[in-house]
Amino acid sequence: MTLHTRLKCISTAIAIVAFSLLSAMAHASCVSVLASEPDYQAATALAFPSPAAENEFRRALSEQAGLNLEEARIFFDCLKIAAMHDDGDTLSQLIRYPLRTHLSKREIIIRTPAAFKKTYPMIFDAKVKHAIETQRFEDLFVSYRGLMVGSGQVWISGIVDPTSGKTTIKIIAINN
């Protein structure tokens, strides 16, 4: 094994351990992240292969999806941590309603957070959770529709409030 490969393995291991340790603290902060607390530090370590790749991802986020890198990263951390902790309450706050879901090849519209909480175990099945937990932020697919987690299990987009013009990041679709 080359020195470069060893260093990369060590770096990855450190990032995994750091994320595991920080996830308990970040989970407690997840609700405050939704309220845009400025003291939150993103738990996901970015591993772009080069500064050019990071700039390209940042540009795609901005131009195609209309999202800010740091805000999208914080949202992604909240999603990942809430899914890992099976926190349906926090996940319900990350969703734009009505939510389109595809369960067992049929579309279901979830209209309220209460309806989401009732159907949470069916919506966030093992396939969806696995897609979220294994997805790396810098490997998200970016398009004009937003960010795609996994192979389309979760779609995230910026929702613009027509009165204020402010963009809020939300889950817009879940497919399992």
Statement: residue 167 has pLDDT above 80: yes
Cβ atoms of residues 92 and 117 within 8 Å: yes
pTM recorded for the entire structure: 0.74
Which residues, 6+ apart, have CB-to-CB distance to 115 below 8 Å?
Answer: none
Q: What pLDDT was estimated at residue 61?
A: 86
Q: Give the 3-state secondary structure of the chain.
A: CCHHHHHHHHHHHHHHHHHHHHHHHHHHHHHHHHCCCCCCCCCCCCCCCCHHHHHHHHHHHHHHHCCCHHHHHHHHHHHHHHHHCCCHHHHHHCEEEEEEEEECCEEEEECCHHHHHHHHHHHCCHHHHHHHHHCCHHHCEEECCEEEECCCCEEEEEEECCCCCCEEEEEEEEEC
Rounded to 5 degrees, φ, ψ at 97 are: -105, 145
State residue 53's pLDDT score.
83
Higher pLDDT, 161 or 39: 161
Helix axes 69-84, 126-134, angle to 10 degrees: 140
The mean per-residue pLDDT over the stretch 157-170 comes to 88
pLDDT at site 51 = 82
How many CA atoms within 13 Å lie on the side-chain side of 28?
4
What is the per-residue pLDDT across 106-128, written as a single tens digit (0 to 9) for each?
899 999 999 999 999 999 999 99
pLDDT of residue 37: 43
pLDDT at 64 over 80: yes
Extract the tokens encoding 85: 């902790």
Distance of CA 19 to the CA centre of its chain: 14
Rounded average pLDDT over 67-89: 90
Under a CB-based contact definition with an 8 Å cutoff, are residues 133 and 83 in contact? yes
